[in-house]
Amino acid sequence: MLFKQLFEPISSTYTYLLGCEETGQAILIDPVLPTWSRDLAVIAELGLRLVYTLDTHIHADHITAASTLKRESGSRIAHPAIDALPCTDEPVREGTPLAIGGLRIDPLFTPGHTDGHHAYRVGDRVLTGDALLIDGCGRTDFQNGDAPALYRSVRETLFSLPDETLVYPAHDYEGRRVSSIAQEKVRNPRLGGDRSLAAFVALMSELDLAYPTFIDYAVPGNRECGACPADVPEDLQRYCKQMSGSRQG
């Protein structure tokens, strides 16, 4: 498998490129609108062809590049079936692996950050979206977020994966790139150790986080698989514009 962790600096999102070396087929997980052409260039350089995009959830902090990549490359839009987005070409659900050539992606239903959130296990790696971050987790105060559900998703679903499974989150704001299930079980300050459900719920209710800057535009845009709403104000246009010269990752 070819695997690349690409970074989008406006929303500090990691986009994952997975490619099958035998068939040349590739998938992008959580692609971000401003970096769509960078991602396609990386795919072309590797001699791959984009067949699918796939999101972990309906994002509130950026707009997915799914529909732009479909238009530009002919890729199909895979998305959790539970979100019932009319623009989805390939609905995914736990129990039904998605095949990319010889690669197998296993969706894991991990609600709590949003009610439709899925993580994706690929061999000895798991892409945890916003359910489990390195030393953290996604917030639970919007998009039908539910702290008890997130506690169960992480502690019962993700922490039941083998300890050596590598954890690749959808974001990191401090430049960290990878962790493991064993490390998060021990060190995660919100969900690790002997943290109880009640203590986690209390902690999440006391975070007092700011209202998300882009949520009022990102959520409707992502419900259309990545349309930039017409009313995005000037100071937020950077979320919609293609970035040039970004070759991080």
Site residues, Fe ion (CB under 5 A)? 59, 130
116 contacts 83 by C-beta, under 8 angstroms? yes
Q: How far is CA 127 from CA 28, 37, 151, in A?
A: 12, 22, 17
Shortest distance, position 57 Cβ to Fe ion, whole Å:
6
Measured from the CB atom, the residue of 113 and 155 that comes closer to Fe ion is 113
Question: Residue 1 is encoded by which pair of tokens?
Answer: 């498998």
Q: For Fe ion, give the closer residue by CB, 130 or 184.
A: 130
DSSP 164: T
How far apart are CB 130 and Fe ion at their closest, in Å? Answer: 4
Q: Taking a C-beta distance cutoff of 8 angstroms, is the pair 178, 166 a contact?
A: yes
- Name the residue number minimizing CB distance to Fe ion: 130
Judged by beta carbon, residue 59 or residue 190, the one nearer Fe ion is: 59
The minimum distance between CB 9 and Fe ion, in angstroms, equals: 17
- CB-count burial class (<10 Å; 0-12, 13-18, 19+) for 123: middle
Min CB(242)–Fe ion separation in Å = 22
- Between residues 40 and 59, which has the closer beta carbon with respect to Fe ion? 59
Shortest distance in whole angstroms from residue 63 CB to Fe ion:
12
**CB-wise, 19 or 226, nearer to Fe ion?**
226
Closest contact distance (angstroms) between CB of 13 and Fe ion is 9
As measured in angstroms, the least distance from the Cβ of 132 to Fe ion is 12
3-state SS, residue 39: helix
C-alpha–C-alpha distance, residues 126 and 120, integer Å:
6
Judged by CB, which is closer to Fe ion: 25, or 114? 114
Q: Burial of 212 by CB count in 10 Å (0-12 exposed, 13-18 middle, 19+ buried)?
A: middle
Q: How far is CA 18 from CA 39, 79, 86, in A?
A: 12, 16, 25
CB nearer to Fe ion: give 101 or 169. Answer: 169
Q: Are 172 and 134 in contact (CB under 8 A)?
A: yes
